[in-house]
Structure 1
């Protein structure tokens, strides 16, 4: 009865909330009155849509949206009826290929996923308050429990609730946890396997996440994107989870402010559209009703930005950066939790298994010269950083990262020849040519890898640069392991800088986190074991610095650099907040003004 009263008072938001709760509580036998109310709201909204199209009146569409915002393609009709429909156009060198949190392989993939899916909490680089975890999908700040946190969910529905209301509940969180533990996908907290215990709930909107033991940053384990349980039924999860994952990848469903639009076939595969989610829990948002990713060559992207056809360009080269700065365009520099290194394949080559040879590789590369000639704009000496270990040198605010060990020795090119001579003596010969895989269609990566090849050639090491198409790169490296060395960008999911999955010998199979096939010795294992039991930050930092130093001296990976990412943003795009990895932070509150 309260829902009917709200409808009679034209309080449609309250009416829908109460109706959703009732239909969720009684999904099999909702009752004639509830069905009558729901169908009546839909019919009333559809009548307004028909009148809007007949009279070319977008205000009637707004009225329809207030009554039942879940009507299919309301935004598409708005686009046809009005010129001020706000659209954000973004330029990319390559488009995302994966649209599920279970399948992320590239930064464009992450950007797409961040528009459609939400985590309970998210890491925020806040200039005023400092970096911290804040609530995203969670209705309020999580409360502490013994070895865990207590969460409350808002009353929100999944983006496929056009005809059947599907609320996001603790059951969805439980299904997500089951999928993570089964699949161990990229982009999810890697420490779950040994730390997570269980989810406890009596109320579908209130639950506790419990850990097996105390952890120094428990919220870092709870920053994961929630998936809909109804798309991964428990019986099918047990039988054929891979088929479910593939189907979900083609038709993603989230609680975020956007959902993927159907391909209209007109772009020839050079565009991907995301439209406002009509079921988003904040009905007045997002402000921007559509976001379009355009695949463009860098020169064309710059031209379109200058001609006001684009609003943003992701990952500018230093040449185009200088060009746009001269024209007073707004440039954002993002310094994230990512590092670049050369990763050896330890499975086959005795040379790459040899520490002296790896140290020759590490010392032969003049990192500063390559940064200056390939990545840094002229005079921008503070941009980017050379690395001596596997952790980033700087935080987003420019302060030294706590995990980075400044005492680790620098790599000296004049020592490379001596290490190579030692390797030749130990292996009784000359090194064979090596295959260096790197992502194609990224000019700076190609030029940087060629510079590395030239520097290694100068001391007698032959390396053949091999570009791999972006959509094949992840498969070649992490599944088929068809490389000798790979130019790799390693993304740390949060500021705990968990590194063990990269070295875990139990996860070295196809698709595993240890794609190098590296087997750590007892000393390195003991350092990671210490990290698991420490709770005091001082002890954690000291042990992390030891790991940094060990990786440096053993050249387990060949550390290269921490590269800043440049994003061009037109000044008509307002209220923006950028995340170095996900890019679109709090995107629902962004706005774009007409030129």
Structure 2
């Protein structure tokens, strides 16, 4: 900076000298007067050939400057001149245009001459000069003007030569913001992209390198060696993806290469390699088929479709082998435990039970608020003797598509007799109180004699019958005898950390048409977003439960069926019978009123807000008043949802603390392993803490109930009258011990409901009990949510409103399909 100041001090005399020379011909010659005080010796102006462009720091932090190069090679450093760019050319063009204009009149001629004179001079301002920095310079003394933007580009070029790419990029961004479209910018920027792509490739940062190379190609596809550079980068990326068997990723980079460089030799080489891999898989699939291994053949041909969906022979082979052994791939966030816990079962454990077990009677549909039941084992049941006897006839044969054992009367009678035996571990006190005897009449017929007439006999028989070894041999065609007695529809064939594979216990006989689902594989994803991506990519065929925030988009997607579950899922907090703290009614009411249930429902559970549009579909969730679904008779329509009132809750907590000598011990909450529940829990715990209640979450590691005060349950109760009693029991047992913790008057009402024989009276009693439980906060209802099952439209035989995600799954059919979209 000191050197610059030294020669800037002579700028004013130099300009004056130029001006005097311009006026030399117009003035008479005068002798030069001798100066009274000679000025100090002045340093000459810098030469153009000796100057370097400003440094990056000077450009970014200093003032912009232009270079005015004089005819003798001297350089004036001035503030940016106007007009720009191409100052001299612009002034010359304007001068020529005005010169050609014909004008008349003295005044017009004088204005023209004045304007021409202005165009022959530059108005310049010297930087860092305080007194009178502005001067006029005649353009005839100027060889060229190097604008500040051109100086920036020169510095960028030097930085690129030195491979100082980050600084060069910073200057390019600065220049683009200052003067977008400046001549020479694109050339410098393209050179930067090329060098940056080479640098990233040298560091094996292949994806970032390809991005830079793509930007360069899009900017200038004729740039030298850009095609070769993209090919080298893409080849490395495709090779790494093939090595990891991530063929979709390999095809993605292959497509990126071919989209800009059709016929590139790397693209042709890698395409041939992928097709060769697919060829080998198809050959292995045919070999597996001829070896009698349809499952292996199906998996291999599907893998070939994932490798190279454009294979010329794939479509026909895929249709044949997929139809022979159909595998349904479902995406989930949680897999069922290998030892499901009955105390706090998760939705994944419920799916496992529904997929494997077959109760004598299982829910089929909801009609007029009542769940209707059907049986795959029982052909008919007929009441006799005014309903005190019921004659049952078993199904001696199975349809070809049915995956189940043949159940004889002997197996059923033995199972029912054990439930009546007080010494048997499976003893059911309620069952023994209802049934007088069970009589075996033939291999396919049996009779049930009742002590009192039940409201619905089907609801008493909603359990699976364990099969003995003899019963399994009777069926003759079961492949999962070791998984019996409970796994009667599908059994767990393989379990890994990320997947669980369920196969039919009874495969379809060979040659039977149409072929149906033979295997269900659940794939665990870490997040819903990743699961949704897998669904859209075709990695999976569906998911048992869609997240509500993406429900509208999925419903609008023509590729999927979005099926509503027949029953909503209700979230409710139950009081643990072993807790002494929650016997305090004031504490229970405080727990209930401290929760902002509506806010938690929309912010954390549904993760979407209700629409104010009257024509919009109703929200997928609502506040609950009890554990029974609002679509069933168990729901009391006249009950109002509890209000959120933290002030009242805090007052109740203060009262409880006075009763407990001023200190309220922390409570414990047993919760299932459910992503929806896990989202809601932090907000619930914070709301309780706000009013002075500390609650800790515990998990059940065994089948025994751990010490806890509250139990978080998510339920879909199909028969409210019958399900009330086991709901209150932590173990699900229906005996008097399960309801001992309740007041005697409430126990009497439950027993009275159990003995009811009139439907209207029973429903009225159930609603009365529900009212008492809500008023006394014996349970803490939270909300109920509608569940939606998403399945790709390659599936057939689906129920319209399924009772659960896998209802009639052994009757579903899967069409041949594989993703062919460009990844």
Query: Contact 2:685–2:694 (CA<8 Å) still a contact in 1?
Result: yes
Residue 668 of structure 2: SS of its match in structure 1?
strand
Q: Taking CA–CA contacts closer than 8 Å with sequence separation of 6 or more, which of the two structures ends up with the larger relative contact order?
A: 1
What does the per-residue CA deviation read over 1:30-69, in whole Å, with 9 as the maximum and x for residues that have no partner?
A: xxxxxxxxxxxxxxxxxxxxxxx999696997xxxxxxxx
Distance 2:511 2:765 in 1: 44
Contact kept? 1:335, 1:563, Cα under 8 Å: no
Aligned residue number for residue 757 of structure 2? 535
Residue in 1 aligned with 2:659? Answer: 426
Secondary structure, in 3 states, of the residue corresponding to 1:461? coil
Superposition map of 1:40-119 within 5 A: 82-85=320-323, 86-97=326-337, 105-119=345-359
Change (3 A) 1:104 1:193: farther
Q: Could you tell me whether the CA contact under 8 Å between 1:95 and 1:108 is conserved in 2?
A: yes
- Relative to structure 1, the CA distance from residue 385 to residue 335 in structure 2 (aligned partners, 3 Å threshold; closer, same or farther) is farther
SS at match of 1:111: helix
Alignment of structure 1 residues 368-387 onto 2, 5 Å: 368-376=598-606, 377-378=608-609, 379=611, 381-387=618-624
Q: What is the SS of the residue equivalent to 1:343?
A: strand
Instruction: Tell me, yes or no, if the aligned pair for 2:563 and 2:802 is still in contact at 8 Å.
Output: no
What residue in structure 2 maps to residue 206 of structure 1?
445
Contact 2:410–2:440 (CA<8 Å) still a contact in 1? no
- The verdict on how the C-alpha distance between 1:580 and 1:462 changes in structure 2, with shifts beyond 3 A counting, is farther
Q: Provide the C-alpha distance between the structure 1 equivalents of 2:604 and 2:657, rounded to a whole number of angstroms.
A: 32
Taking a change above 3 Å as real, the CA distance of residues 273 and 537 of structure 1, as seen in their structure-2 partners, is: closer
Q: Quick check: 1:285–1:589 contact (8 Å CA) kept in 2? A: no
Residue equivalent to 2:593: 363
2:502 corresponding residue in structure 1: 273
| 1:157/1:255 contact within 8 Å kept | no
Whether 1:489 aligns to 2:726 is no
Give the match for residue 413 of structure 1.
Answer: 644
Output one character per residue of 1:329-366: Cα deviation in whole Å (capped at 9) or x when no partner: 432232526432222334244x3221111111111112
* Count of residues paired in the alignment: 488
Moved more, 558-567 or 380-389: 380-389
Give the SS at the match of 2:335: coil
Closer, same or farther: CA 555–410 of 1 in aligned 2, 3 Å: same
Is 1:403 paired with 2:403? no
Match of 2:683 in 1: 451
The separation in 2 between residues aligned to 1:341 and 1:368, in whole angstroms, is 14
Q: How far off its partner does 1:222 sit?
A: 2.1
Is 2:531 aligned against 1:293?
no
C-alpha spacing 1:565/1:361, structure 2 compared with 1 (3 Å): same
Contact 1:123-1:494 at 8 Å conserved across structures: no
Q: Is the 8 A contact 1:356 1:423 kept in 2?
A: yes
Map of 2:12 onto structure 1: none
Partners in 1 of 2:340 and 2:515 — Cα distance? Answer: 21
How many Å apart are 1:232 and its aligned residue?
9.5
Name the residue aligned to 2:393.
152
Q: CA deviation at 1:426?
A: 3.0
Structure 2 residue aligned with 1:218: 457
Does structure 1 retain, via aligned residues, the 8 Å contact 2:466–2:484? no
1:550 deviates by 1.0
Whether 1:558 aligns to 2:780 is yes
CA distance in 1, matches of 2:339, 2:470: 15
CA distance in 2, matches of 1:130, 1:512: 24
> Between Structure 1 and Structure 2, whose CA radius of gyration is higher?
2
Structure 1 partner of 2:814: 592
Paired residues of 1:103 and 1:249 also in contact (CA < 8 A): no
Give the secondary-structure state (helix, strand or coil) at the position aligned to 2:723: coil
Structure 1 residues 408 and 78: CA distance shift in structure 2, 3 A: closer
5+ residue gaps, structure 2: 1-283, 301-316, 473-479, 612-616, 818-823
Runs of 5+ consecutive residues of structure 1 not aligned to the other structure: 1-52, 62-72, 160-164, 234-247, 396-400
Q: Which has the higher helix share?
A: 2
Larger displacement relative to structure 2 (413-422 or 83-92) = 413-422
Change over 3 Å in CA distance of 1:323–1:464 after alignment to 2: farther
Please give the alpha-carbon distance, in whole angstroms, between the structure 2 residues aligned to 1:426 and 1:284.
72
Aligned to 2:409: 170
Deviations 1:169-228 (A, max 9, x none): 11111233245554459xxx9942422333222210111233221011111112322321
**Contact 2:344/2:711 (<8 A) preserved:** no
SS of residue in 2 equivalent to 1:425: helix
C-alpha separation between the residues in 2 aligned to 1:101 and 1:180? Answer: 21
